[in-house]
Amino acid sequence: MSDSNYTPPAVWTWNKASGGRFASINRPVAGSTHDKALPVGRHPLQLYSLGTPNGQKVTILLEELLALGHAGAEYDAWLIRIDQGDQFGSGFVAANPNSKIPALVDHSGPEPVRVFESGAILMYLAEKFGAFLPTAPAARAEALSWLFWQMGSAPFLGGGFGHFYAYAPAKIEYAIDRYAMEAKRQMDVLDRRLADSAYIAGDAYTIADMAIWPWYGALAKGQLYGAGEFLGVHEYSHVNRWADQIAARPAVQRGRIVNRTQGQPAAQLHERHDASDFQLRTQDKLQGAQ
């Protein structure tokens, strides 16, 4: 498939599948495709997600809050299988009209509160529990600046580089070169920052680290798109130091496997409804019990 001679029409119309790994779930319109209510568990916080980098951000924060002793951060994490179109069910669309994971519904108040977009969820929870987001104006501004840096930058990494390098139905040199350049530039931004700072926003671990680590920490360790060698990720020594530091945190190790459906069975906890699920309900345990 080549687009070297492609001339865009005057008005674009959706008349064929786009191809590639996610062709079955991509469409140019919003809204639900079927009626399906969301399940509700016993905890006030109900998370509907998948263990992608965006989903990991929220479960890492929730596990970190629980590790600090915030009992109100107990949560139910329900699996949303985006490859099967769960995100287009009417209940999920009500929680997130953008039909993207993750979505959070907080039932702790008199009326449920929906929160969508991973960065918004991180900020909501950090403010709700008074943790992992500084209150001093300068420190808060720094943390939020890096949080929103991630929200604006990751689409170039995932939807740009990752898509054209790993998922597109054809290898397009211009697109891969364009986004590889941007991915490396972003890694250099982080590497320069982390040369002078223990954590992304300064000396303290914040939601900025939790947002950035699932994407760029994984990239630095060669775990995204099979592209570690291609992007020379070993060159970013400060990012690698930071990535290892975050990965060693027990709450991160728990949070990164929630709603995960890929990899080793021991690193997959499809749904999380109780702290004991990490010991009792990972896929290796469930398969062994069959």
Q: Which DSSP string do the residues of the chain spell out, in sequence order?
A: ---TT----SS----S---STTGGG--S--S-SB--PPP--SSSEEEEE-SSHHHHHHHHHHHHHHHTT-GGG-EEEEE--GGGTGGGBHHHHHH-TT--S-EEEE-SSSS-EEEESHHHHHHHHHHHHT-SS--SHHHHHHHHHHHHHHHHHHHIIIIIIIIIIIISSS--HHHHHHHHHHHHHHHHHHHHHHHS-SBTTBSS--HHHHHHIIIIIHHHTT-STT-HHHHTGGG-HHHHHHHHHHHT-HHHHHHTTBT--SS-GGG-BS-BSSTTHHHH-SHHHHHHT-
Instruction: Quote the pTM value.
Output: 0.95
Query: Contact 47/77 with Cβ under 8 angstroms?
Result: yes
Residue type, position 89, single letter: G
Residues of the chain with pLDDT under 50: 1
pLDDT of residue 17: 73
Neighbouring C-beta atoms of residue 41, cutoff 10 Å:
18
pLDDT of residue 3: 55
Confidence (pLDDT) at 1? 44
The whole-number pLDDT of residue 15 equals 85
The residue among 175, 44, 150 whose CA lies nearest residue 106 is 44
